[in-house]
Each structure stands twice: as structure tokens, then as C-alpha cells.
Amino acid sequence: IKAPECFIVERKLRERMKIPVFHDDQHGTAIIVGAAIYNALEVVGKDIGQVKLATSGAGAAGIACLDMLVALGLKPENILAVDRDGVLYSGRPNLDPDKARYARDTDKRTLADIVDGADIFLGLSAAGVLKPEMVATMAERPIILALANPNPEILPEHAKAVRPDCIIATGRSDYPNQVNNALCFPYIFRGALDVGATVINEAMKTACVKAIAALARREASDLGAAYGDEIPCFGPEYLIPRPFDPRLLVELAAAVAQAAMDSGVALRPIADMAAYREKLGQFVYRTSLMMKPVYDRARADKQRVVYAEGEEEVVLRAVQTVIDDGLAFPILIGRPDVIATRIERLGLRMREGVDFELTNQDDDPRFNEYWQYY
């Protein structure tokens, strides 16, 4: 259902029905766009309350994205939008009510005008509309979401040719930072249905945004199937998880369910969220059920475990999982500066002296003698 009819239909359905209603073209896109921009701003060190956004496309997805970004803290007065008829400006005739909310008192009339000086470009329009010369006029470290399909408003290589400092996301799987609705809509429904939510409200959608954003910032030791041999680290080339990330079900469904309960729309509140997360994990990790008795015993009698190869990345990732699951108290053997550098690079959250102990082999007078003898 195209805009503006889709807004009316969804609104009426939400009023009449006591079950979750969710237009994926609108809100699925908005949630992923929100997460991508939320994390991109973290990478470039900008405040969402201070940035300026230019958007090309004011249809169902475009308006929903703007609404989501405003909910996340973007100031409405810092948004300028164009549709196929030009800039949305105050007094422009024949604007439907949803577009009129984003009409601004401005003398700018073209896409080039509104992109000039913008921190963020959001494209949900047509291939090739964002020209390299427009990208050149954007603010320092610009963020570009070129989401037209199958071809984006500008190709990443063309944007980076004029602005090497830009961060760019597209809807395509052959470039980094693919904005894909499949990241959220199966899981937001899982959380909503598990608590008997009567609606999918703004709190639930915002919780989903922040859960997706947080996943990209976290390390992971179990992503081989989704990411291949090289596990990505949070940064300009990895703003949001990929669609087959196995953690999505647990993290998103739990966040949405909790938000539904907190906002008072859950008919079947979950009493034990830890047990709920564990149950979700069993759908993804089939070994969880078999290993549960082992994990329970480990937690009940937590032991100190020494990791001899404490500098290795695979060991550090595994240790973070051990800490998160409360399975043991790790002792790492290695050089403190090397371990600290790798913990920071991998985005791990463990803290020396709190979550683990560190033993520097160089401090032992026997170390050189031992390795030389070996």
C-alpha cells in the first residue's frame, strides 16, 4: 500500500485491532536506518541533537525514518526533505498531512541546496540522484545512507572518491553496511507475541533500534556462519549486524518484550527474563540444551581458569563469553600492553582486576631461561 494511503490504513487498523500491526516497509526500514545512523554518529563523534539531515524521498519509508530519527533525538528543525516535486517547504501546495509535518520555512528548492552543509544524507528515492559534486559540499565526516534499490542514489566508490572521510550504507549485500529489513521484523514480532503485546509502540521500536546498534558494538566469538572467517569489528565498515547474525533473535526479541512490559502493553508479562533469553538461545544454538547442566554446575562452583595464550584474539573473545555467562574467573597470561590493545581493538568489555586477572610472564625471572631452553 503506497503513501499516503498506507498511513491511514495502518492508523485505522491500530485503532480497531488489539493485536500488533506493523507495516514493514515503513517501520522495518526505519528501525534499521535508526540503528545505522545511531552507530554512525558514534563513529564520527557527532551528537544527534546537533546534526543536520537532508533526505531524498518522502514516501512511506522516508516519513517513518524521519519519525524514528526524531524519536532518537534528531531535531525536526534540522531536517530538510525533497520528494519528486522538490523541497518540502512551508506553503507548498498539495502536501499531505504527513509530508506537511516536515515542511520547513526555507528558500532552498533543490536536492543540491539541502545537501550543502548536511551531516547526513538519507536516500529512499531513485538511483543516481546524489551526485559526487553534492557529496563534496557536505559537512565534515558525512554519513550517507543511499538506500534506493536495486541501485543506490550514489555508489560507495563514487562517494568515497570525492569524500574519503564519508561513511556510507546501502541496501545492497555486495557493499558493507547493508540496510536490510530482515534484521528486525521477524524478531520484533517474536518479542511482541511472546508477551501478548496489544500494539507495537514507539518504545518497542526504539528498544529494537538500540538492541541492533548495541549488537554491532559488541564483540562476538560465535559468528563464523554469519561472517565467515573474519569476524568484523565495530567501525565505518561495520555499523549494523548482518542479517544472519545468530544473536539477533535473543537480543532483539528480549529487548522488544521488555519494552512492551515496561510500557504497559503486555498481556502476558515474562517473570524470568533470564530464562526467556536462555529459551530463545536454544532455538539458535542447539547445543545449549545439552550443555545447560554443565553450565549450571560451572556457575554454582565458579573456578579460577588460567588461559596460557592470553594474547590470542580467539582466546580473548572466548574469555569475554566466559565472563558474560559467569562460568569461571579467568586468569590471562600475556603482556599487559598487548592484551589491553587487543581488548580495545576487538571492542571487548572485560576489565582487568574486575572481570579477570592478568599475569605478565615477563615479570617472572625464569621466563627467558625457560623459553630459551625450550
Average pLDDT, the chain: 90
Region class of 105: left (phi > 0), else alpha (psi between -120 and 50), else beta:
beta
Facing residues of 63 across strands? none
Give the architecture-level CATH label for domain 302-373.
Answer: 3-Layer(aba) Sandwich (3.40)
Query: Is pLDDT at 335 greater than 60 in this prediction?
Result: yes
Give the architecture-level CATH label for domain 181-296.
Answer: 3-Layer(aba) Sandwich (3.40)
- For the sheet with 328-333, list strands across it: 303-307, 328-333, 357-359
For residue 161, the model assigns a pLDDT of 98
Mean pLDDT calculated for residue range 338-348:
89
Query: Is pLDDT at 229 greater than 80 in this prediction?
Result: no
Domain(s) of CATH 3.40.50.720: residues in the chain: 4-170, 181-296
Query: Is pLDDT at 139 greater than 90 in this prediction?
Result: yes
Query: Is pLDDT at 355 greater than 80 in this prediction?
Result: yes
| Least confident span in 41-50, 201-210, 228-237, 281-290 | 281-290
Mean pLDDT calculated for residue range 56-81:
96
Confidence of residue 119 (pLDDT cuts 50, 70, 90): very high
Query: Is pLDDT at 41 greater than 50 in this prediction?
Result: yes
- For the segment(s) 4-170, the CATH number from 3.30.420.40, 3.20.20.70, 3.40.50.720, 3.40.50.10470 is 3.40.50.720
Omega prior to 4 cis, within 30 of 0: yes
Confidence of residue 291 (pLDDT cuts 50, 70, 90): low
| Cβ–Cβ < 8 Å for 211, 54 | no
Residue-wise pLDDT tens digits, 145-169: 999 988 999 999 999 999 999 999 9
* Distance of alpha carbon 97 from alpha carbon 289, whole angstroms: 52
Confidence of residue 286 (pLDDT cuts 50, 70, 90): low
pTM: 0.78
More confident residue, 93 or 290: 93
